[in-house]
Structure 1
Amino acid sequence: MSCKTSSNKLLVEVFETSVNGNKLTKVSNFTSSKNASIIKLDTSKTFQTITGFGGAFTESSAYLLNKLGKKNRDTILKAYFSREGANYSLTRTHMNSCDFSLSQYSYSPVKEDINLKHFTIKEDKDDLIPMIKDAIKISKDGFKIIASPWTAAPWMKDNRKWVGGKLLPKYYDTWALFFLKYLNAYKEEGIDIWGFTVENEPHGNGNNWESMHYTPKEMTNFVQYHLGPKLEKDGFGNKVILGYDQNRAGLKEWVNSMYENEATSKYFNGTAIHWYESTYEVFPEALQYAHNKSPNKYLIETEGCVDSEVPEWKNDAWYWKKEATDWGWDWASAEDKYLHPKYAPVNRYARDIIGCLNNWVDGWIDWNMVLDTQGGPNWFKNWCVAPIIVNPKKNEVYFTPLYYIMAHFSKYIRPQAKVIGLENSDKNLQVTAAENPDHSIVVVVFNEGKAEKSFKILLGEKEIEIHINAQALQTIIIPN
């Protein structure tokens, strides 16, 4: 939208996704209002540097893409990774199988193979690796990949099972070698892995699907004495290692262990978190604590999704209504039930990403990029929702509103952007802002309420008044 009528008017572009049908739609021609609130930007105050936004490569997503016609497959990958699409910059994948795999498998299938002479990533070559390679071809700006193990092979664990149990100490060096072997194997495929989380959900997941348990001290020791030194010795000391990788309420004891002193923190580059503790609570105090414990390290949301739900097919309205429930709706303890009310999926994404950005989180990764109409495939039948849903039998694709919500951030807030200060006079508008490396400024505003609103953005001597629809997310770009 051009505003040339006055020298003090800000030049901006505004894109909106809303319950009334806008889908990253460019909007303009705003009328003035007597009740406009004020959003005052302050570029002199800067906070964290953005690492990126994106989603996860899973075997389930990759398998589904291969079941679609080439046109639809290409459409989805371009929607996620092209500059014209969401332009994802930060992604995740799983090492060995996870629940969003077609079966349980390990890259170290031979028992007692201490030196991993039989290590193989053949399970990834049909679906997962081709998906990643095609995404790399499409992405002009490139993206980072974080790899996460759900479990070691059962033969390395004290319970000899895929689910639960702990890594036997006698295999700590073997497990560190496993990470190195994975790096090299993927490198041979032309895929550069940026970093790792040490373990997906070290508390476990209720003994349901692939998992392996650590205490904070056990994970710290594994990284300090095994994984970190092994990667460093073999020329991969530049790879990022993220500790924890589970829900935010448990952050304090983990960062206390990881960052206890210089020796324990040496090989940890940051902390990974998930969002499943609550459908609405961001846990700002925990995020602030984790940042303050080690201010120069990463704090990345590595997984979040609408879980325990079968996706609604081509029903945009459902994603804006408080109809979804999560695992905690049925299974949370009595004292934690209040954290898991029914919620609107769009609200959960928009609230959480804005809340994270306003509390030092520098990266935010969605879970599966693509799922089917059942919310799988998932060998455990742990159905979830993805931003893009497909029906492979009919070769049909549905871009849910969640895709557009992710794009509001990933497309416009680019890596190396810095979150900036702001003052917001309307407590019912959720707002964050960042300055990109090219000095353009991006403001993201979420109006969760069912009434339209107006607000003025002030930047120095310039301002502009903007109208936002009810139940709408807006991204406002102020060029440099």
Structure 2
Amino acid sequence: MKKINYLLYFLLSFMILSCQTKQDKLIVEVYETSASGNSLTKLENFSSDKNDENLIQVKLLPAQKRQTITGFGGSFTESSASLLNQLSKEKRDFIIEAYFGETGAKYSLTRTHMNSCDFSISQYSYAPVEGDKELKHFTIEEDKDDIIPMIKDAMKVSKDGFKILSSPWTASPWMKDNKKWVGGKLLPEYYDTWALFFSKYIDAYKAEGIDIWGFTVENEPLGNGNNWESMHYSPDEMTNFVQNHLGPKLEADGHKAKILGYDQNREHLNEWVDSQFKNEATSKYFDGTAIHWYASTYEVFPKELQYAHNKAPNKYLIQSEACVDSEIPKWQDDAWYWRKEATDWGWDWAPEKDKHLHPKYAPVNRYARDIIGCLNNYVDGWIDWNMVLDTKGGPNWFENWCVAPVIVDPAKDEVYLTPLYYTLSHFSKFIRPEAKVIGLENSDNELMVTAAQNPDGTIAIVAFNEGTKAKTLNLVLNEKNIAISIQGQAIQTIVVPN
């Protein structure tokens, strides 16, 4: 009888412990992209039984709410749109679905250029007639064959929709002091004309059924080495233009488009936000600040990002452009995107004092590290540059070759989704607009981790293991946990259901 009672006691205890263990286990889904071949692959066997001193502790702190996510995405350029026009309908639809559809990356925040830029087929302006101060001849006809159809196709497949941020590279040459596409400054006598230009652009796109969410005042106001379309402002000149011309004009015309200042590299961020947000009057029409990543192939500039956030904590801080520049894309060679062989403009051209900021790098590493670093330092939106380029890294009228997440060969009607596409998808697909970045504790300085809670209550955690050795992280939420293996050279999105 004692043996039977003991056996019953043992079975009951085992059942209770099993039930507790099941209750204490965190239920998650895991998606991985890796150098070993996973491409946003949903893993079935990711749980680890490891329980040693090397276990990385990642504790989620959802009560610590930080910035609200605006979105993630890429840019509609004339170069990308013209390439889509050269593909079969099947391949064009495949790319649009890959970026905007429910089965794809679900891009939510995008950018496009006003007038031409280097990633245009030629140089053009919506205000082509010299001396037309009232812009009676304003026209977006140039966009109707390529950019606008691409946007409309994206709108058709995007279930949740997406925001569009528009940026000018330059005003028409006749409005500038040097009368050239490149460099120079906007003449004060055309400040009101240039403000009107933005208003007419909103109206023209609205007539096409496209809403413009916001603007940056000027792409790269510090210039680009006098290479392609550009127009220069000092911080105070841009603040003056927004405070006294652009902001009042958009307000008078009933437009609610957001205005983001700066729009260039992060190392100069402090002086621009100091000017924009100097006082209530200068701040009134600025909704936030835009930044680029080209100051370094690895440095996120956290101090500058934190400074900008603290200067204007209720304003947007959006990464508006990034790409693998000064490189011809590697076709159907996934391994290259994980190797530290890429170089950027700074490898050859940076001043000697800045050379250390531009070492060789692996493109996947740069993207994953930068997006996670941005999210952990108050950036609320992250936009890639061209969505589609060809095997040469163009078309680009200046031959400023770059890499895009999707590469195409129009002559063969072939499409290559690079590892960069999947890297971006780890964020855009799972961290949705209006999500809140949340706090976390991470015991491993080498494993990069960020997390956000979506409006539907799900939590998306993105972890990046840059090293070659596998790691195991113990993910803890409230009283539940789960040990998850992440192989070397891998990025994972871990989704905790509501």
TM-score class, shorter: over 0.9
Q: Which residue of 15, 22, 29 corresponds with 2:31?
A: 15
Measured in 2, the distance between the counterparts of 1:32 and 1:314 equals 37
Measured in 1, the distance between the counterparts of 2:257 and 2:145 equals 26
Measured in 1, the distance between the counterparts of 2:441 and 2:265 equals 29
Aligned in 2, Cα 1:203/1:4: closer, same or farther, shift over 3 Å?
Answer: farther
Post-superposition CA distance 1:345-400 (Å, at most 9, x none):
00000000000000000000000000000000000000000000000011000000
2:400 is matched with 382
1:312 is matched with 330
* 1:452-467 matched pairs, under 5 angstroms: 452-467=470-485
* Code of the aligned partner of 1:216: P
2:233 is matched with 214
1:324 is matched with 342
* 1:387-402 matched pairs, under 5 angstroms: 387-402=405-420
User: What runs of 5+ residues in structure 2 fail to find an aligned partner?
Assistant: 1-18
Post-superposition CA distance 1:209-256 (Å, at most 9, x none):
0000000000000000000000000101x2100000000000000000
Measured in 1, the distance between the counterparts of 2:452 and 2:126 equals 41
Aligned in 2, Cα 1:4/1:416: closer, same or farther, shift over 3 Å?
Answer: farther
Q: Which residue of 104, 129, 143 corresponds with 1:124?
A: 143
2:202 is matched with 183
Measured in 2, the distance between the counterparts of 1:270 and 1:264 equals 12
Measured in 1, the distance between the counterparts of 2:314 and 2:423 equals 29
- Percent identical pairs in the alignment equals 73
1:5 Cα offset (Å)? 5.8
Q: What TM-score do you get using the length of structure 1 for normalisation?
A: 0.99
Post-superposition CA distance 1:18-65 (Å, at most 9, x none):
000000001132232223210000011010000000000000000000
1:357 is matched with 375
| Secondary structure of the corresponding residue to residue 384 of structure 2 | strand
* 1:47-86 matched pairs, under 5 angstroms: 47-86=66-105
Measured in 2, the distance between the counterparts of 1:4 and 1:142 equals 43
* 1:78-117 matched pairs, under 5 angstroms: 78-117=97-136
Matched, 1:137 2:193: no
2:307 is matched with 289
Measured in 1, the distance between the counterparts of 2:352 and 2:406 equals 34
Q: Which moved more, 1:4-13 or 1:323-332?
A: 4-13
Q: Which residue of 314, 321, 324 corresponds with 1:303?
A: 321
| Secondary structure of the corresponding residue to residue 6 of structure 1 | helix
Aligned in 2, Cα 1:466/1:234: closer, same or farther, shift over 3 Å?
Answer: same
| Secondary structure of the corresponding residue to residue 7 of structure 1 | helix
Matched, 1:265 2:276: no
- RMSD between aligned alpha carbons? 0.9
Matched, 1:202 2:221: yes
Runs of 4+ in 1 over 6 A off after TM superposition: none
1:276 Cα offset (Å)? 0.1
2:175 is matched with 156
Post-superposition CA distance 1:123-163 (Å, at most 9, x none):
00111100001100110100000000000000000000000
Aligned in 2, Cα 1:376/1:297: closer, same or farther, shift over 3 Å?
Answer: same
Q: Which residue of 440, 449, 455 corresponds with 1:431?
A: 449
Q: Which residue of 170, 173, 179 corresponds with 2:189?
A: 170
Matched, 1:26 2:45: no
1:6 Cα offset (Å)? 1.1
Measured in 2, the distance between the counterparts of 1:412 and 1:197 equals 26
Measured in 2, the distance between the counterparts of 1:4 and 1:226 equals 65
Aligned in 2, Cα 1:179/1:286: closer, same or farther, shift over 3 Å?
Answer: same
How many residue pairs were aligned?
Answer: 477
| Secondary structure of the corresponding residue to residue 108 of structure 1 | coil
Aligned in 2, Cα 1:330/1:348: closer, same or farther, shift over 3 Å?
Answer: same
User: What runs of 5+ residues in structure 1 fail to find an aligned partner?
Assistant: none
* Code of the aligned partner of 1:186: Y
| Secondary structure of the corresponding residue to residue 432 of structure 1 | strand
Measured in 2, the distance between the counterparts of 1:31 and 1:401 equals 26
Measured in 1, the distance between the counterparts of 2:391 and 2:257 equals 37
